[in-house]
Structure 1
C-alpha cells in the first residue's frame, strides 16, 4: 500500500509514541541551526541542506545544491538514525516548500517506503500546540541497508534539458515565483530569466491561503489541465537549485500522479552555461 506523502498534525500526534518514528527539521537560512536549537518539534533532529542533502562544488557543474553521491547519502541516513523500518516525518519552516520536500524526494529515491512531509510545517505545528523542545537532539546511529545502488526516481541532466528546449513534445516546468521566471528579479543567481520554452507553475500554487497543501482533487485538476496529456517521462521540473522543485513533485505524488523528471542543476546550473535565457 502506497504511503500518503503528506501527514497532518493530528496524525503525527497519534503516532508520536511509536518507537520507530524519526522526525527531522530541515529548515534553511543563515541561522537555521541556531533557530532549530531555540525551538523545534519534540524529538526532531536537525538536517542541514548544504552538508547532508547536497555536495556543493562548482555551481556551473551541477548547480548550487547538487545531490550527494548515493553511497554518501546512505551513510548520512545511518548517521541520522534512520533504518529501513523507520517512520520518517520531515518538516521545515516554509510549509515543506524548501528542504523538507527535497529530503522527502531523496528518501523516496533511495527506495524508503515510509516517509511523509508535515502539512503546514513548523508554523502549523505551533498553531496546534504540538510539543516543542530546544537544544540539540539525535537518534542512535544505524546501518542503513539500501535495496539499490543508485537513485530510483527519474532525473535529467543539462544536456537532456537542452534537447528538451528544442522539442515541443516535452514540457519544462519552472516552479520559481513569477518575477524570477520573468527575469524581473533574481535574488540568488547571477543571471535573471528562464530556460527557453519553460513554462511557469509556481510551487506556491500547491498551497492554500493557510499554507497547507490543496486537496489531492484540486491539485489533480490543476496539473491535469497544465500537463495537457503529456506523459510523465516528457515532463521536467526545475527551480533555482533543485530544492523547491521537489515541493511540486511532492504535490504531484500527493495528487496521484507519476513523479516526473527532476532537473537538480536547475536555473543555477543552466544560467552559468547558456546565454539563451
Structure 2
C-alpha cells in the first residue's frame, strides 16, 4: 500500500476507513471545529501523539506516548488491527499527519495512508468541510507490541554521526541547522556530522509531495550509497522528521530510523554543537 493517498480517492469519503484529522498548537481543536473532512475524528499532537516530557533533555519535547496509552487512544478512535486508517493535517503532513502514520507503521499497522497535500488539497478540490465533533464507536484496546520499531536513542546517534558508513539527516530549515536562529530550543546549531535536508524540499509549490522519481533523486543526493537502514532522521522534536520518512517510503526507500528526541534532546545534554554548513 502506498503511504500516500490522493484527495480524489473514494475511500476518503465513503466511510469505509477511519479518518483522523491531526492538528498541532494551542488552537488545534478550534481549527478542527472550524473545518475538517466529514467523519474525521480529532487528534491532538501533544495530547494524543506524544507524552508530556518530564525533562526534554531525556526524550525531547515530543516523546512517544506509552504504548498502553497509544493503544487506548486508538481504541477511542475506533481503530482495530484491520482498519484502513487515513490521516491528514493542515500542514501538508508535517505537523502530526506523518507522525501518526509513522507511529502506526512502527507498531506494525500497515494499512495506513496520509492524504497527499492534507487539508489544503481537500479545500483546493472543493470538498465541503464539516464543523461537528465527530466520534467513532470505541473498540477494544489495540494489541500493542513491546516497543516502537525503527527508533534510535541518543547513544546510537552519537555513533552514527561519526561513522562514514551512516547518515544522520536533520530536516529543520537551514537557518536553524546552521545555528543562525533557534525559535524553540535553548541552543542553536546541529549535531556535528549531521547533514541538512529541509523537509519542505520534498514538496511541490502546491503542498503535495514531489513525484516518486523526483523524491528518489533528492534523497539519493543526500544519502548516496548508504543503505537505508543506516540512515537516521531527526528534526527538533521527532515530528517533522516523520514527514521526510514518509517521503522516503513513498520513493521506495524503506528502513531509515527516527531519532525521536532529536535536537530538543541533544541540545540539552551538554554535547558538541555544530554550526554553519560543516557538510
Q: TM-score, length-normalised on structure 1?
A: 0.94
CA distance in 2, matches of 1:163, 1:113: 30
Matched, 1:8 2:6: yes
Please list every run of at least 4 consecutive aligned residues from structure 1 whose deviation after the TM superposition is greater than 4 angstroms: none
1:215-234 → structure 2 map (5 Å cutoff): 215-234=211-230
How far apart are 1:32 and its partner, in Å?
Answer: 0.7
Contact 2:15–2:39, Cα closer than 8 Å, also in 1: no
Contact 1:173–1:201, Cα closer than 8 Å, also in 2: yes
CA distance in 1, matches of 2:177, 2:100: 24
1:1-277 → structure 2 map (5 Å cutoff): 3-11=1-9, 13-19=10-16, 21-57=17-53, 58-146=55-143, 148-152=145-149, 154-277=150-273
How far apart are 1:176 and its partner, in Å?
Answer: 0.5
Contact 1:39–1:134, Cα closer than 8 Å, also in 2: yes
Contact 1:180–1:193, Cα closer than 8 Å, also in 2: yes
CA distance in 1, matches of 2:38, 2:142: 27
How far apart are 1:71 and its partner, in Å?
Answer: 2.2
How far apart are 1:182 and its partner, in Å?
Answer: 0.7
**Where in structure 2 are there 5+ consecutive unaligned residues?**
274-279
How far apart are 1:18 and its partner, in Å?
Answer: 3.7
Distance verdict in 2 for CA 1:147–1:157, change over 3 Å: closer
How far apart are 1:233 and its partner, in Å?
Answer: 2.4
How far apart are 1:172 and its partner, in Å?
Answer: 0.8
**Where in structure 1 are there 5+ consecutive unaligned residues?**
none
CA distance in 1, matches of 2:15, 2:107: 23
Count, aligned residues? 272
Distance verdict in 2 for CA 1:157–1:147, change over 3 Å: closer
CA distance in 2, matches of 1:186, 1:73: 30
Q: Residue 132 of structure 1 aligns to a residue in which SS?
A: coil
Contact 1:24–1:91, Cα closer than 8 Å, also in 2: yes
How far apart are 1:240 and its partner, in Å?
Answer: 0.2
CA distance in 1, matches of 2:164, 2:238: 22
CA distance in 2, matches of 1:102, 1:247: 7
Q: Residue 129 of structure 1 aligns to a residue in which SS?
A: coil
How far apart are 1:145 and its partner, in Å?
Answer: 4.0
Contact 2:4–2:250, Cα closer than 8 Å, also in 1: yes
CA distance in 2, matches of 1:36, 1:259: 33
- 1:137-191 Cα deviation digits (max 9, x unpaired): 1100011443733223x11101111122332222110000111111111111111
CA distance in 2, matches of 1:91, 1:110: 19
Contact 2:169–2:194, Cα closer than 8 Å, also in 1: yes
